[in-house]
Amino acid sequence: MTSTAQPRIAAIYRYPVKGLSPEPMSSVRVTPGQTLPFDRAYAIENGPGRFDPTAPRHLPKINFLMLMRDERLATLTTAFDEVDHALTICRDGKQVAKGALSDRIGRQLIEQFLAAYMKDSLRGPPKIVSAPGHSFSDVAAKCIHIVNLNTVRDLARILGRELDPLRFRANVYIEGLAPWSEFDWLDQNVQLGNVSANVFARTKRCEATNVDPATGTRDAAIPAALLRTKGHADLGIYAEIVNVAELRVGDEVKT
């Protein structure tokens, strides 16, 4: 994520399992009204849940294991294979679990590991859930989440400490844009290379941003700091894709 003169896409990430680690992507094909493929395609219910795969609907994140409350998740790194939906979980560089999330036995292998690893956070047995075409995003709309790296740097300057941009769990990170100026894009169209997207909301930050994504340590108070210094708790924007195109790292960003 290096500085450039012209605003450009610095990084692209997807999060195949809600609350678990991001996966960097150099490019991805997007379609109108959808998330990035496999972004938040799976989630982990924390005990008995309300998600019905036959009638999927958006549910509050409190129903699932999540960084806002379950920071120990950040000590795990994962790899997802979109061909067979195999999820590999590692801790400290060593594989600790692996299973195909599309298969009952595979899901059970992952659930058994999480039951032991996250036992202090659980309200009951964890259950991996999904439904075709459903995304367990924090917002009901199917969209992408965009964060301006210079906004993150400005917040870090205000706080007098470094902030890993991955705290904000965005899909697209933009470099070369004036801090906080992305808020001016609300209700406007933005061009991310060949991808056209309509910005419809600012991202209200929650306690998940207080967790260092590298260590799992709850070492900051981001929403409180934003409220104190900016008068709001927003950082990032949501945008809906409006065309079929390839989203690429390095693509120029225009409004």
The CATH number assigned to the domain holding 25 equals: 2.40.33.20
DSSP annotation of 62: G
Q: What mean pLDDT comes out for the span 185-206? A: 98
Please check whether residues 122 and 189 belong to one and the same domain: no
Q: What mean pLDDT comes out for the span 107-122? A: 96
CB 9 within 8 A of CB 32: no
Please check whether residues 73 and 199 belong to one and the same domain: no
Q: Are strands 172-175 and 144-148 parallel, antiparallel or unpaired?
A: parallel
Q: Is the pLDDT of residue 159 over 70?
A: yes
Q: What mean pLDDT comes out for the span 207-221? A: 91
Please check whether residues 149 and 236 belong to one and the same domain: yes
Whether 162 maps to a domain, the answer reads: yes
pTM: 0.94
> In the block, which residue shows the tokens 């195109």?
245
Question: 3-state SS of 165-222?
Answer: HHHHCCCEEEECCCCCHHHHHCCCEEEECCEEEEEEEEEECCHHHHECCCCCCECCCH
Please check whether residues 200 and 237 belong to one and the same domain: yes
CB 18 within 8 A of CB 43: yes
Give the pLDDT confidence of 40-66 residue by residue, as tens digits. 999 999 998 899 999 999 999 989 999
The whole-angstrom separation of Cα 161 and Cα 159 is 6
Please check whether residues 25 and 146 belong to one and the same domain: yes
The whole-angstrom separation of Cα 180 and Cα 215 is 27
Q: What mean pLDDT comes out for the span 149-177? A: 97
How many structural domains compose the chain? Answer: 2
| Residue-range definition of the domain harbouring residue 215 | 8-32+139-254
Whether 205 maps to a domain, the answer reads: yes
Please check whether residues 71 and 173 belong to one and the same domain: no
Q: Is the pLDDT of residue 214 over 90?
A: no
DSSP annotation of 64: B
- Strand runs labelled E in the chain: 8-14, 23-25, 27-30, 43-45, 76-81, 86-91, 94-100, 127-129, 144-148, 172-175, 189-192, 195-204, 234-241, 245-248, 253-254
Please check whether residues 178 and 81 belong to one and the same domain: no
State the chain's mean pLDDT as an integer.
Answer: 95
Whether 214 maps to a domain, the answer reads: yes
Exposed, middle or buried: residue 94 (CB in 10 Å: 0-12, 13-18, 19+)?
exposed
Last residue of a domain, one of 111, 129, 147: 129
CA proximity to 182, closest of 217, 213, 160, 155: 155
DSSP annotation of 41: -
Please check whether residues 156 and 217 belong to one and the same domain: yes
